[in-house]
Amino acid sequence: MFLLAHLSDVHLAPLPTPNFKELLSKRGLGYLNWLRKRRAIHRADALAAIVADLKAQQPDHIAVTGDLVNLSLSNEFTLARAWLEALGTPDHATVVPGNHDCYVRAAADHAVRDWGDYMRGDNGETFPFVRQHGGVALIGLSTALPTLPLAATGRLGEEQLNLLGKVLAALKQTFRVVLLHHPPVGGNRFRRLTDASTLREVLRRHGAELVLHGHLHESSLVWLSGPREGIPCIGAPSASGSPDYKDDPAGYNLFEIDGEPGAWHCQMIARGMSRADGTIGELSRQLLTG
């Protein structure tokens, strides 16, 4: 059995103090939002407790689907690299970027520059990249791009989508796990994946066994159309979410993957923080395939 852990929307806190020049952009509004609201939502203690619980489960691999930082400040990327190294080595953890990891054009390449070892395939390729662990193939996509103030949309683009179809076809004998930040369904016009319909069509034609995403800061399960059967599409809550806020409290998911082509078995175990007392434990179990 292969045990995969999925956490998302880390939003590392506390936020380093930005300099004046850094605030002369979209970051200025983002910083005001951080001071007004988000610093109370994303808590370092909640994230530390989630990571400790995750490590206690001894997963074979950890997938992180973006938003490690908040405003794409230069110092944030360095701190995030240190956090990743404490989470696991590049062969034990895989990362795809989120919109906050590409908050402004000036920082568009910082995630790949600083976390590249975690966002590279077995053959050194970038998005889409493939990391195989026995019969499980992790396929990393990037939906991150700089956007205007108040927008948090994502896009894959034609080249990445075309390559994804070829990758999925070539890996059809493996348990294919697609990783991206923005969900293939849902989100309002300012937060959506703009080419989600094209992605869903690629998945419908070529299939996948599991799609994992973040972005919405809530636990979710949506079934996407596949060539023969539905594809479970799972959203994770923020890994640092406060239990005092309206979004789902901090949590993550585990996936027990076993079997063989045509007879895969996958069970999801949701673990997270209790609103009542802040303790972390199992929330639910659900058989996805098998």
Position 275 pLDDT exceeds 80: yes
Q: What is the pLDDT of residues 85-98, one digit of tens each?
A: 999 999 999 999 99
Q: What is the pLDDT of residue 149?
A: 92
Q: What is the pLDDT of residue 187?
A: 78
Position 262 pLDDT exceeds 90: no
Q: Taking the model in full, what pTM does it have?
A: 0.97
Query: Exposed, middle or buried by CB within 10 Å (0-12, 13-18, 19+), for 211?
Result: buried
Q: What is the pLDDT of residue 95?
A: 98
Query: Exposed, middle or buried by CB within 10 Å (0-12, 13-18, 19+), for 145?
Result: middle
Q: What is the pLDDT of residues 161-216, one digit of tens each?
A: 999 999 999 999 999 999 999 999 987 889 999 999 999 999 999 999 999 999 99
Position 27 pLDDT exceeds 80: yes
How many alpha carbons lie under 13 Å from residue 103 in its C-beta half-sphere?
24
- What domains can be seen in the chain, in order of their start residue? 2-289 (3.60.21.10)
Q: What is the pLDDT of residue 243?
A: 94
Q: What is the pLDDT of residues 72-85, one digit of tens each?
A: 999 999 999 999 99
Q: What is the pLDDT of residue 56?
A: 98
Q: Where are the beta strands (DSSP E) in the chain?
A: 2-7, 61-65, 93-96, 129-133, 136-140, 175-179, 210-213, 220-224, 231-235, 251-260, 263-273, 280-289
Q: What is the pLDDT of residues 121-140, one digit of tens each?
A: 999 999 999 999 999 999 99
Distance CA 289, CA 136 (A): 14
Q: What is the pLDDT of residue 184?
A: 97
Q: What is the pLDDT of residue 234?
A: 98
Position 290 pLDDT exceeds 80: no
Mean pLDDT value across the chain: 96
**CA quadruple 45, 66, 95, 199: dihedral positive or negative?**
positive
Residues 233-249, mean pLDDT to the nearest whole number: 95
Q: What is the pLDDT of residue 188?
A: 87
